[in-house]
Structure 1
Amino acid sequence: MTPQAPTHNKAVIFTVDAGWLGYALLAAQRIITLSRPRDFDIIIASLEPLPIPRPLADLGIRNEVLNLNERMRAENLPLRWLPSIAYLRLWLPDIFQDQYDRILYLDADTYLCSPDLSRLFDIDLGPHALAAALDKEHFWQGEKPIIDFENHGIAANRYFNSGVLLIDTSAFAEQGLLAEMLAVNQSGITLKYHDQSLLNMAVQGQFAELSPRWNWQFPNRFPAYTRMARPCLIHFSSNPRPWHGYEKETRFPRPIIETYAGGDTSVPPDRKPLREPLWHQLDNLIGHVQYLPRYLRYMSRHKHPFETRL
């Protein structure tokens, strides 16, 4: 399918299948509600047609069906626990470079907290094709190399999380990053983090580093740090997620849990989210004290949310 004519020269794009469509639509609707101004397009990209409810389509959210099924199968991308849709993000700059100067790719399990998303598109990327925040493994490991770099002898000490990617489409094409990623895959090496590591191995630490406030990956593990960090964009990057809040004990704020349960008629209106027993809460508090130096080190790399480390 040929992408529709753009309204703006930049876009937020999600890549999902039917199973994740609802979460992407919720994230997209929240972006429209909060962003001032909203001078970018919002696209739900998919391999098959997906229904966009009329009220959301009227707000400017649209589905783009990208006919890449055969191409992706031919590349023999490792799936294991991954759906094939996870790799669609790799082709976005190539497909949309004639429509958009910059693309902000977001995972469907992201939750905007800031009205300033438009400003993120204009940050300094330096000579790099993309900007991203360090993966949460850097929080735990500090300067130790990430396993997929260490296993393959790559000396780079910066490894990003691919759930939030700001991409300069022209630079991405000029640097041949799609071809580089596909070549890494065809080499037959085994990667623990699959699609994320393909992106990282293509750039090998050469990216503009975003503040962790634009990809906050600890909302359930460290709720106190989450409040301290004042994240601009929360990423629910592992289970449990807020939509599990009525089935599993979580530390998410009740309003977030209720937001994700808004259309779930199976949840009685008077039911409360499940909370941890007191001794779990005390253990988590001790963990906050224990890991405070790591939190301070992790956050100290950026003075403000629109600063990048080049």
Structure 2
Amino acid sequence: MNTQCIAFVTDENFFLPTFVAAILAKKHCSRNTDVVITFTEASAGVPIARDLCAREDIVFKDTSAFFTEQLSVLDKSKFAGRISIAAMGRLLLPSVLPESYEQIIYLDGDVQVVGPLDYLENYRVPEGKFLAALDYVPVLSVLNGASHEDYFNSGVIKFNRNGWIGRKAFDFFIENGGAYHDQGALNAVKGDAWIPISNKWNFPRQFMHLVDEEAPAIIHYMSHPKPWDGVFFPWSRREHDVYRDYLRTYPQLRRFRKSISLARRALYRFRSWDMRRRNELRHCSARLASVLY
């Protein structure tokens, strides 16, 4: 029985990208690491999701009963817009994963694993500690001359289930709220538990055009648009086609596909054009590599 897993948390609305991310993780991890998708809501899509996961040798866990109860205490108005309440599920993962998994690698569903995960897999996180990389905004601050930043992104985390601060962060959010939800709560209670790692393992998509494409191992499509929405700079058709190809392979996935409006698509195209035109960070590419790696 494996003692380590790569775990995802999703609801029905985010299952498509999460499923693709899990397939990519499976391709780049060792056989000694299981890949697990946990589902947070009761849905008619559960049997379809379970069947799709079985075809790709991904462990599927219907954890909807647990998460429905646990997440019911949260103020749902705090999750209006495009932030899903399911994001809080990462804080409670030890409660739904088998006890055999001592080492847990959590990944957001809006990542693409593009390189070997050996570093994350081989790092034995001590009890009470976790690995995470700098968030996008702190990276920008460092590029602009800050000597140190102390705020991590919660999209890629590896933790020891023993002493994991997730429940503490969950309770903090209940009492205090916060604009950045699980991420803000984790940063608020982290104390000395955080072990910083290279952004190679959680690479902000905003910097994709500034480094060699083989440099990152995990690309994180923070913010909107997302690559399954279309082709928007700084990514190319290749990153978008990953989702299109799996939609062709598994037509059942179309149930989980959510299209964006024409107005939003036009907005994303403008932002993409503007980013390409300005390319503000190109002069920082050499320093960027030193900061991120």
Q: Specify the alignment match of 1:18 in structure 2.
A: 12
Alignment of 1:118-267 (within 5 A): 118-123=118-123, 125=125, 128-142=128-142, 157-172=149-164, 177-187=165-175, 189-204=176-191, 206-217=193-204, 219=205, 221-227=206-212, 230-246=215-231, 249-262=232-245, 263=247
**Residue 211 of structure 2 aligns to which amino acid in structure 1?**
T
For 1:231, the aligned partner's letter is P
Letter of the aligned partner of 1:216 in structure 2?
F
Relative to total residues, which structure has the larger helix share, 1 or 2?
2
For structure 1, which runs of at least 5 residues remain unmatched after alignment? 1-6, 145-155, 267-273, 303-310
1:280 CA drift (Å): 5.9
Offset from partner CA, 1:88-141 (integer Å, 9 cap, x none):
111002433622111111111111111x32441221545652101111111122
Contact 1:104 1:167 in 2 (8 A): yes
Q: Which amino acid aligns with 2:169?
A: M
Quick check: 51-60 or 157-166, which moved more? 51-60
User: Does the CA-based 8 Å contact 2:103-2:125 persist in structure 1?
Assistant: no
2:127 and 2:149 map into 1 onto residues whose CA distance is 18
The one-letter amino acid paired with 2:56 is: L
Distance 1:43 1:277 in 2: 34
Partner Cα separation in structure 1 for residue 272 and residue 9 of structure 2: 37
What TM-score do you get using the length of structure 1 for normalisation?
0.74
Whether the 8 Å CA contact 1:38–1:118 is kept in 2: the answer is no
Q: 1:127 to 1:52 in 2, by over 3 A?
A: closer
8 Å CA contact 1:105–1:164 kept in 2: the answer is: yes
Deviation at 1:238, TM superposition (A): 1.6
Describe the SS at the equivalent of 2:239.
helix
Long gaps (5+) in structure 2? 255-268
The TM-score with structure 2 as length reference comes to 0.77
CA spacing shift, 1:233–1:34, aligned 2, 3 Å: same
| Counterpart-to-counterpart distance in 2, 1:178 and 1:255 | 35
Q: CA deviation at 1:12?
A: 0.9
Q: How many correspondences in the alignment?
A: 264
Residue identity matched to 1:134:
L
**C-alpha RMSD of the superposition:** 3.2
Matching residue of 1:106: 107
